[in-house]
Structures are given as structure tokens and as C-alpha cells.
A and B are shown apart, each in its own frame.
Chain A
Amino acid sequence: MYGNDFSAEDAPGGGLLGEVEAAEVALREAAERGRRVGAPGPDQDLAAYFAEVIEADQKIEPRDWMPEAYRKTLIRQIAQHAHSEIIGMQPEGNWISRAPSLKRKAILLAKVQDEAGHGLYLYAAAETLGISRDELVELLLNGRQKYSSIFNYPTLTWADVGAIGWLVDGAAIVNQVPLCRCSYGPYARAMIRVCKEESFHQRQGFEILHTLTHGTGAQKAMAQDALDRWWYPSLAMFGPPDTDSTHSAQSMAWKIKRFSNDELRQRFVDMCVQQAEILGLTIPDPGLRWNESRQSYDFTQPDYDELMRVIKGDGPCNRQRAEHRRRAHDEGTWVREAAVAYAAKRAEKKEKVAA
């Protein structure tokens, strides 16, 4: 079993990973539960059938009828999720050759390999909605689809690799655990796989920071500096505040999303405060304090103007990330063509033998 639990109440079976397991159980139960007696069949009323499946917390599958807007919004969300995994390999890949020990290097390699795998699961899930991966890659390359704003920030020190694991992967898990219950079956199943592996990433990030903060003064300062730079961009990962979120209401009604951006951001802050204490690091927010009446932390919101600038392409690394991805694609063309030619030649040979 994988775990992302750092505190006593997050023991196995509880915490975020417990929620992933619960979602997996619910998925199986929903599959076994028959349809409600008297529910409209797909042959009678498609829209009513769709609404009833969602209402009953069952899953919409690729060959089911779905509203065009549901299909579109899922393609957009899953594709951008997939793109984020692929672009997300760059900031961490930046430190593979410079990891401070062989152990750290091997772990980082495994992690970046996982991100590639997550991208592939997600592209496959998006493809069940009737779009090809080649088309999606094209949309990423020409900038018509986005990826997570967070990967437009640079990794300046080794501690950044720890901060990405702890904060960025941590925020991703808080965001993705509810998606394990998403109404679209292929996406929900992909998220269950991703979340289990992602918790390994969050743990390894936390461990990097923990080692640094218990090392020399310089190491601790490096860890604090990484937290200072990654804290607000991580909070911004949850998207604009609820009042400005364009897709939220419809996505919640369709049970694609289960919680609002602000609810998830709050959950993330509440989790991080205790973990930062164990690290001995200070969260760079003078407005952060416990609110007894809400039983949550009050905190300063990230700069949403900055978030919009970064999403629109004007963050610190947007050009570099896109340019790197395009170059890999272009310079890899001849390799892809060679693979296709080789496959064709072998298929031809096989045919001759068979004839």
C-alpha cells in the first residue's frame, strides 16, 4: 500500500489515501448496483437516462449517450490534466543530472517516469471521448490548450524538487482525490491509479525537505526559500476563486467536480500548516491564523492577477516549456517515422510467410 500520511490521524485507511480507497469501493458498488426499477432506459429517453445515471452516482461510460457540452468539458479538463503531467516533467527533469546523491537521483527518475505514465493514462481516458491523442498533442503544441499554471515557475535549487513534491503534488492530490468519484468512468478510474502513485511523490518531496531542514543552516535556508517561492503558486493551482470560476457550477451539477476551488484550497491550507510545523518551516503568509469559529485557517489569497497572466502565457517559463516540448516533437519526427516504417515492413514480411 502507498501512503501519503504524515500524522497520526492520517494512518492507513484514513486521510486522502483512505478517500481514494473509499472511492474505489464506491466505484465497484455502483457497478454492481442494478439500475433503479422503472428508470428510463437509453432506448426511451437519452437525456433522462443520462440524468438518472448521474443522479444514482453511477458512471457514464464511453459508449453511453452524453450531452455535447459534457463531452467537451471533459475533453478540455482531461486533456489539460494530461498536458500538465507531460509539461510537469520539465521542471523536475531539470534536476535529474544534478540530484545530490545517487539515491535521490534514482527516486527522481522514477517520479518523472510516473508523470509520463500519468500523462498516458489521461490521454487514453480523453481518447474514449472521441478525440485522438495526436489531435490533443497538436492542441498543446500550438498553445490552444493549457496545462497547469504551476509548471511555468522555474526550479532554481535542489530544495525546489522537494517543494514541488510536497506542495505541488500535495495540491494535485487534494484536487484529484475527489475526481476519483467523477461521473465519467474512464476519468474516475485513471484518477484512482494516479492518486495512488502521486502520494509516493508527495511523500518523497516531504522527505527531501525534512532532510534539508534537519541539516545545516544553509540547507534549512534553501528549504525555506523554496517554500517562500512555491507557496502562493501552489495555492493558485486550485484555480480562480468560486466567484470567478466559469465552469464550476455546471461541472458540479454533472458530478465531474465534487468541491469548489475555494473549498479545496482551504482543505490544502489546513493540511499544510501542521506539516510545515513538523518541517520547522514558516509559511510565508503573515495573515495565516487559526479561526476558532470556522475550525480552519484564515489565509491570504494568492495573487489571481498573476495567475491569469501566467495562464495567458506570460509566466516566468511559459515560452521555455512550450519551446522545449515543440522541439522534442519536431526533432523526434524521424524516429516516429522510422518506427512506423519498421512496423509496416515487418507486417509485410509476416503476410508473405502466411501466404
Chain B
Amino acid sequence: MSREFSPLWEVFVRARRGLSHTHVGSLHAPDAELALRNARDLYTRRQEGVSIWVVPAGAITASSPDEKDAFFDPAADKVYRHPTFYEVPDGVAHL
């Protein structure tokens, strides 16, 4: 049997209905169910949340900091993506 115990899981907690899940940390557990139980004890002991997601850390692909600038270039030539680009005639309400 493999001695490799407990892969790493990333934990996301949603604080209240209506908010989104936020990454709160990671933990080791042999399977998803134990990861969930441990996350409950570890990250929501003081009513921090109402919903937990656990994801095997290996299932996450992250962007590289090296390509930060190129990858997230705000596309300066696409200013029409911002609502402030558009001129609103005087006197228009609720727009």
C-alpha cells in the first residue's frame, strides 16, 4: 500500500447567502468527505460560513506570475468595455 497519506485540499467558504465562496486555506485529508469534515472543524468553528467547497489542490491550474502583464493586459484599445466610455445626453434619468 502506498504510504503517501492525505493529499492536499483547498477550502472555500461562503460566509452568508448571497456572498460568493472565498478561499480560506488548505488542509490534508485522505478523501473528500474527511476533507469536508476537517474543513468544518478547522475553518468554521466560529460561524464563519454556511457553505464549504473542498477541491483537491492538484485539480487547480493557476496562472503564472511571469505572464501577469501580458495575460491580464487590460486591452487599452477596448475602452468601449467600460460603461464610462459612453456619452449620455443631458436629461436622461436612471441610466
Contact = CB atoms under 8 A, between A and B. Distances in A.
Given A124-B25, A127-B8, A134-B5, A342 B31 contact: yes
Given A340-B2, A341-B1, A342-B30, A42 B68 contact: yes
Given A63-B62, A124-B25, A337 B8 contact: no
Contacts of B25: 121, 124, 190
Contact of A63 (B28, B41, B64): B64
B34 interface: yes
A346 B2 CA distance: 16
B1 A337 contact: yes
Contacts of A218: none
Given A43-B66, A63-B65, A124 B34 contact: no
Interface string B60-77: 001011101100000000
Nearest to B31: A343
Interface in A119-160: 120-121, 124, 127, 133-134
A113 interface: yes
A117 interface: yes
B45 interface: yes
The contact size tier of chain B is 20 to 34
**Interface of A, helix, strand, loop or mixed by DSSP:** helix
Contact of A336 (B5, B45, B65, B69): B5
B27 interface: yes
A41 interface: yes
A61 interface: yes
B50 interface: no
Interface string B1-39: 111111010000000000000000111101100100000
Nearest to A132: B8
Interface of A: 41-43, 61, 63-65, 113-114, 117, 120-121, 124, 127, 133-134, 190, 336-337, 339-343, 346-347
Q: Which 4 A-B pairs have the closest CB atoms?
A: A343-B31, A343-B30, A339-B30, A124-B26
